[in-house]
A = this chain, B = another copy of it.
Amino acid sequence: MPLGERNGDKESRYCGVETDFSNDMPQLLEYSIKGGFDFVLATLVDPAYRPSLESSNNLKSGALPVAGSDLVLSPAKWSSHVVGKISSWIDLDSDDEILRRDSEICLKQEVAWASHLSLQACLLPVPKGQSCANYSRCVNQILQSSNNMQLWLRIPLRKHEDGDPMDDQSLGGDPIDSWETWNSFRLLCEHNSQLSVALDVLGSLPSTNSLGRWIGEPVRAAIIHTNSFLTNARGHPCLSKRHQKLLTQFFNHSVQVVISGGLAHPVSIKSLESATNDVNSDVGHPLRAYLYYIGYLYQKMDPLPEQELYELSYRDFLQSPLQPLMDNLEAQTYETFEKDTVKYLQYQRAVGKALLDRIPDEKASSVTSVLMVVGAGRGPLVRASLEAAKETGRTLKVYAVEKNPNAVITLHSLIKLEGWENIVTIVSSDMRHWDAPEKADILVSELLGSFGDNELSPECLDGALRFLKPDGISIPSSYTSFFQPITSTKLYNDVKAHKDLVHFETPYVVKLHKVARLAPCQPVFTFVHPEYSPSNDNQRYTKLKFEIPEDTGSTLVHGFAGYFDATLYKDVHLGIEPTMPTPNMFSWFPIFFPLRAPVCVRPGVPLEVHIWRCSGSTKVWYEWCVASPSSSPIHNSKGRSYWVGL
């Protein structure tokens, strides 16, 4: 039974329960499901079993002492309600060779058994101690087999911070930062996409920055021990504010919750009953109070805003950026962009302010301003400009310049339909080559990409500068791109799946979701229009030094998120930079610049990045690299993998 419904969220969230070894699997499962849980995290093999003892006792029955044969449950039940828990005594990096060999044999036997049962996932026990090379090697061998089963590596959510007492020692070894163990494990297994994490959420949580790293990792489950719950005034289990916030983040990132441990809050069943008003409920399961509370947390989450709902299916989905200069957009694409009313309202405000600045009230009716929309598409900026003129009582003569002949057809019908024939002149031409009959007071364009200049706005507007009056205004008047290091195992793996260099040297437009943003954004390139400097050159080079907050711990940088902010006119801006995004605008997702090999950054070490905007006679491209803490290759040298055609 999923954790109730959240407004608009299409995915259900489930809650499981960790159980002890039982010979009676059907009973165990029925009890748990009746108790309201969706699945069990169940030990598959008798914990007393050791391969080495079997052989020396000459008791080689050959049969693994499992918790129930494949026949005791239907295949569908095994697969949808049981996550296999691999024996927790397993220690593949022990100095005790017998234990190590037993562990290796047992791990392989249990995973093979789980695979035979078609389980969707197995939980691998917490790595003991700091080193996990042999454990990783065995898991990596298993991952090499063609099998779809997910392996969840259990990791206690723990990071030793200065002055922190180390608690909950029981749940594993003594790593200073458990993220390091995970990082080492997954690097040894080459970011295998079937390897993910199940986090043990303990009573005390590390710093918020350090928790943030996990959002970029493939966390599939959060295991919450009953000891980690507090008790509220009515004696019921509840979680601290920080725990609640963490759980909300987990819910937002499709992490399943598992309750573990015994009843630690002896709540009377009666009070629970009345608290939930659930008269049909089975009151038998001792952990039900915890499940109620988790369900309550999920249900009280704010509903997803409409825009987020609309963008749900785009989350972490890599798209190649548009090439509107080289290719002609399709009607469908125009249709989508034109729906972004917020964007055109900003343009309308900008044009209005510019008209008011340029034409004093007393000349409002006597002076006609020449406004040129360069890259008019199917006309939304023409409409916004005319609206602005109407609003401010100024008179406009509009040229709509568009290079796409298909869009020009639509423009013509629009103008006829709206009766703008006397105001708007349609020019079917590339703005870079148009021989304008007069000069413009205002040049309006929307040529920006997710990274600002990446759809070649600078080159296009340089071409249009010829027909702007010396005191004319360009809307936008400037734009700046931004860069930010991120962890995103999902995006890295999706790029890696292509198994070639080209995809690692291509920036992607993507709705970032399972992403850890490691440091504040920094500006990269700025372009100002009009730009009359004689040494004007649209090539750029910037060196950035990111300081990742020290309490984050070590991090793995998979690449960089790119954004932009544009000043349309004076205080009217437009953009997606995370600290000042234009609300409810959906025309741009961020852009992701991948790194061919993820870079590990230790606490206190700055991350130095270099990025170039280069141009040749037929194309513009970016090159990028990391120079510190260690040097990466130069990405996309000479635009070999990715470029934008001029």
A residues contacting B by CB (< 8 A) are 100, 131, 133-134, 136-137, 140-141, 144, 183-185, 187-190, 541, 543, 597, 600, 608, 610, 612, 623, 625, 627, 630-634, 637-638, 640
Contact A184 B631 (CB under 8 A): yes
Cβ distance A192 to chain B, nearest Cβ, rounded Å: 10
Cβ distance A174 to chain B, nearest Cβ, rounded Å: 17
Q: Give the chain B neighbours of A597 by CB distance below 8 A.
A: 597
Q: Give the chain B neighbours of A183 by CB distance below 8 A.
A: 631
Chain B, Cβ-Cβ closest to A136: B634
A55 to B545, alpha carbons, bound, how many Å?
34
18 further contact pairs, Cβ within 8 A, besides A134-B610, A137-B625, A144-B637 = A131-B543, A133-B625, A133-B631, A136-B625, A136-B631, A137-B610, A137-B612, A137-B623, A141-B637, A141-B638, A144-B638, A144-B640, A183-B631, A184-B631, A188-B631, A188-B634, A190-B634, A597-B597
Q: Give the chain B neighbours of A141 by CB distance below 8 A.
A: 637-638
Q: Give the chain B neighbours of A633 by CB distance below 8 A.
A: 187-190
Chain B, Cβ-Cβ closest to A141: B638
A134 to B540, alpha carbons, bound, how many Å?
11
Cβ distance A553 to chain B, nearest Cβ, rounded Å: 15
Q: Give the chain B neighbours of A637 by CB distance below 8 A.
A: 137, 140-141, 144
Given A131-B627, A625-B188, A640-B144, also A634-B137 (CB < 8 A) = yes
A131 to B610, alpha carbons, bound, how many Å?
11
Contact B184 A634 (CB under 8 A): no
Cβ distance A52 to chain B, nearest Cβ, rounded Å: 9
Given A140-B637, A144-B637, A637-B144, also A610-B541 (CB < 8 A) = no
Q: Choose one: B140, B600, B625; the contact of A634 (CB below 8 Å).
A: B140
Contact B133 A610 (CB under 8 A): yes
A631 to B184, alpha carbons, bound, how many Å?
5
A188 to B609, alpha carbons, bound, how many Å?
12
9 pairs of A and B residues whose beta carbons are closest in the complex: A187-B631, A133-B610, A184-B631, A190-B633, A133-B627, A140-B634, A140-B637, A137-B634, A188-B631
Chain B, Cβ-Cβ closest to A623: B137
A612 to B141, alpha carbons, bound, how many Å?
13
A-B contact pairs, 10 of them (CB 8 A): A100-B541, A131-B608, A133-B543, A134-B610, A137-B634, A140-B637, A144-B637, A187-B632, A188-B633, A188-B634
A640 to B134, alpha carbons, bound, how many Å?
17
A608 to B187, alpha carbons, bound, how many Å?
15
A541 to B612, alpha carbons, bound, how many Å?
47
Chain B, Cβ-Cβ closest to A610: B133
Cβ distance A180 to chain B, nearest Cβ, rounded Å: 10
Q: Give the chain B neighbours of A137 by CB distance below 8 A.
A: 610, 612, 623, 625, 634, 637
A131 to B597, alpha carbons, bound, how many Å?
21
A176 to B407, alpha carbons, bound, how many Å?
60
Contact B140 A600 (CB under 8 A): no
Q: Give the chain B neighbours of A140 by CB distance below 8 A.
A: 634, 637
A608 to B634, alpha carbons, bound, how many Å?
28
Contact B134 A188 (CB under 8 A): no
A627 to B130, alpha carbons, bound, how many Å?
11
Q: Give the chain B neighbours of A640 by CB distance below 8 A.
A: 144
Q: Give the chain B neighbours of A189 by CB distance below 8 A.
A: 633-634
Q: Give the chain B neighbours of A543 by CB distance below 8 A.
A: 131, 133
Contact B541 A632 (CB under 8 A): no
Chain B, Cβ-Cβ closest to A539: B101
Q: Give the chain B neighbours of A627 by CB distance below 8 A.
A: 131, 133, 184, 188
Which of A133, A144, A632, A638: most chain B Cβ within 10 A? Answer: A133
A541 to B101, alpha carbons, bound, how many Å?
11
Contact B630 A187 (CB under 8 A): yes
Cβ distance A599 to chain B, nearest Cβ, rounded Å: 10
Cβ distance A116 to chain B, nearest Cβ, rounded Å: 20
Cβ distance A131 to chain B, nearest Cβ, rounded Å: 6
Q: Give the chain B neighbours of A133 by CB distance below 8 A.
A: 543, 610, 625, 627, 631
Which of A141, A190, A630, A637: most chain B Cβ within 10 A? Answer: A637
Which of A140, A185, A634: most chain B Cβ within 10 A? Answer: A634
Q: Give the chain B neighbours of A134 by CB distance below 8 A.
A: 541, 610, 612
A625 to B132, alpha carbons, bound, how many Å?
11
A140 to B600, alpha carbons, bound, how many Å?
24
Q: Give the chain B neighbours of A185 by CB distance below 8 A.
A: 631
Which of A189, A608, A627, A632: most chain B Cβ within 10 A? Answer: A627
Cβ distance A537 to chain B, nearest Cβ, rounded Å: 8
Cβ distance A441 to chain B, nearest Cβ, rounded Å: 33
